[in-house]
Amino acid sequence: MRIISGALSIVITLLSILASGQCANILGIFTVPMASHTIVHLSVAKVLAERGHNLTIVTLFDLPVKHEDFTVIQVPPSKEDEQQLNEVIGEATATANNGFLAAFLNAPKFLNILLRIMENAIRDPRVKALYENKNNKFDLMISGYLNNDFQLGIARKLKVPVIAAFPQQPLEFIASVVGNPSSLSSVPGMLTSAEKGKVMSLGQRFLEVLFSWGHSAVQKLMEHGNKKRYRSLFSDDPSMPEYEDLSKNISLMFFNSYGLSDGPIRPNVPAVVEIGGIQIKDQPDPLPPNMAEFLGNATEGAILLSLGSNIKGSHLTPEMVQSIFRVLSNLPQLVIWKWDDLKNTPGTANNILYSKWLPQDDILAHPSIKLFITHAGKGGTAESQYHGKPMLAIPFFGDQPGNAASLVKSGYGLSLSTSELNEENFLSSIVRILEDPSFTNNVKAFSELYRDRPLTAKETVIYWTEYVLRHRGAPHMQSPLVHMSFIAAHNLDIYFLIAFIVYLLVIMIKFICRLCKRKPYKVGKQKVKKN
Ligand SMILES: *[C@@H]1O[C@H](CO)[C@@H](O)[C@H](O)[C@H]1NC(C)=O
Ligand SMILES: *[C@@H]1O[C@H](CO)[C@@H](O)[C@H](O)[C@H]1NC(C)=O
Ligand SMILES: *[C@@H]1O[C@H](CO)[C@@H](O)[C@H](O)[C@H]1NC(C)=O
């Protein structure tokens, strides 16, 4: 019975793939100049390529997320743009500790450079040839989205529907493009990380509103430049729509989050599709033989230490490195340590394997790994949570301190700032996490919740992409909010009207009352007049 139903389900799956139509020609415009964004965009593309679709990809970077059938057009930013981008990122990192006002003041400059790089990318003759050549046949465009609406002109040129993709949760200022309601009072944004199940305090809600207004202001500021970009790119074609109408044609938007388990809980319109963890493999690839053998020997369990791709060994002080080494080399556990300068390692120890490059996701999936020591970047923490491994965070900059704070709050591990990092603290944190099962239990429980979905992240991407392909867009599921002004969307006109009616009623009642009181006097007066 089971065999028959198993065979049947395979046949049904095959039939449904055949029925879903031929392979589609999909154009991915993944030009947001941040590798963390592009990794998510490419992961979406990879799923679709594995499904048999034909992907043509425009991107700035050469990243390890690849597929043999991708047609990639790489448009790296000019030296000048790259240098300016590095400068503003440097400023943003330096001001990150000065509170969010400093970040805001930096934001227009930052976004402007990002948008200029994105504009230059689609001005590249090879990219222009994609959308100017009438013989090119595409069925869909996927846009790596970050306020780059002017790029949506490409979809209009090709007369294809658009799916947008964003690498975080449905943040208010992004998801509003597809009409997602803002829910500022109950949904913490980037600023406040309210604990799960707790409501925001007055102060937190106040900050959220200010933050949201600030974002809108920055976005409005950017619109002006974007409109100019759009005109200079596409104004030679009179059939092109107004700039303001471009974003109204986004069929749906993928977000790399899964609110049900990630939180925060919020209402989402149907055009918000969550694909949290899309960059994580369902089945780990086999480890390189030396690592597989090393971990196979781990009778006491093993630890993975990686501080990401941006932080190099030389960024740590020698004392810090020596403290880390002395602690790790004396542990009974085996350690895999990501270290780029293999000629100059912190020291040799039987239980430590240094490696310049790590298949991090695959290592974290290994049952021997009991702890992940991480800089708390978004990708690494998500992988660790997915595989149910507790963490010891050593955050450096950017979103890392925030990610570290939130994993501590959720009980998935501990965090040490670089100033707290000495031998004693480091050892006691490691021992605490290894000996107290609550950290592992918490993160394992999260992992189960995170994986329990009606469709996996990959199935979700396939289903909704092919849905848009089948119906050539999805205007039927668009929220009317997309077409409403701020005033109408928030019913401000109605509240004003009601207030006005109440005001009129009050005046009328007052007038009538006055009339009633004065009646005898007035009547008398009139009589006098008449006479
Ligand atoms: C796939 O896309 C490439 C690049 O756009 C194109 O040259 C090729 O003809 C496409 N293949 C099919 C089977 O449509
Ligand atoms: C949206 O795209 C469709 C094609 O999928 C097109 O027919 C429609 O005119 C577009 N609307 C706007 C406002 O661009
Ligand atoms: C694993 O253990 C075996 C037997 O103790 C040893 O011969 C081998 O070198 C070890 N492998 C590694 C990679 O440490």
CATH for 289-451? 3.40.50.2000
Q: What is the H or E stretch that residue 26 is in?
A: strand 25-30
Closest ligand 1 atom to 130 CA: 5
Confidence (pLDDT) at 356 = 87
**CA–CA distance, 369 with 390 (Å, rounded to integer):** 10
> In the structure encoding, which two tokens stand for residue 5, read together?
């139903």
End-to-end CA distance of the chain: 108
Please tell me the distance between residue 474's alpha carbon and the centre of ligand 2 in angstroms: 11
**CA–CA distance, 296 with 290 (Å, rounded to integer):** 10
Q: Are strands 391-393 and 369-374 parallel, antiparallel or unpaired?
A: parallel
Instruction: State in words which class domain 24-280+456-475 has.
Output: alpha beta
Please tell me the distance between residue 256's alpha carbon and the centre of ligand 2 in angstroms: 26
Question: Nearest ligand, CA of residue 351?
Answer: 3
Confidence (pLDDT) at 79 = 93
Closest-CA residue, ligand 1 atom 1, reads 54
3-state secondary structure of 482: helix
Q: Which residues of the chain have pLDDT under 70?
A: 1-21, 92-100, 103, 190-196, 309-315, 398, 519-531
Residue 240, ligand 2, Cβ within 6 A: no
Please tell me the distance between residue 302's alpha carbon and the centre of ligand 3 in angstroms: 14
Confidence (pLDDT) at 216 = 87
Closest ligand 2 atom to 245 CA: 13
Confidence (pLDDT) at 18 = 47
Mutate to test the pocket of ligand 1, among 23, 53, 54, 141 (most ligand atoms within 8 A of CB): 54
Residue 340 near residue 312, CB atoms below 8 Å: yes
Residue 208 near residue 189, CB atoms below 8 Å: yes
> What 8-state DSSP symbol labels residue 146?
S
**CA–CA distance, 206 with 191 (Å, rounded to integer):** 11
Residue 133 near residue 27, CB atoms below 8 Å: no
**CA–CA distance, 452 with 261 (Å, rounded to integer):** 9
Confidence (pLDDT) at 311 = 61
Closest CA to 363 of 307, 411, 302, 414: 302
pTM of the model: 0.84
Confidence (pLDDT) at 192 = 61
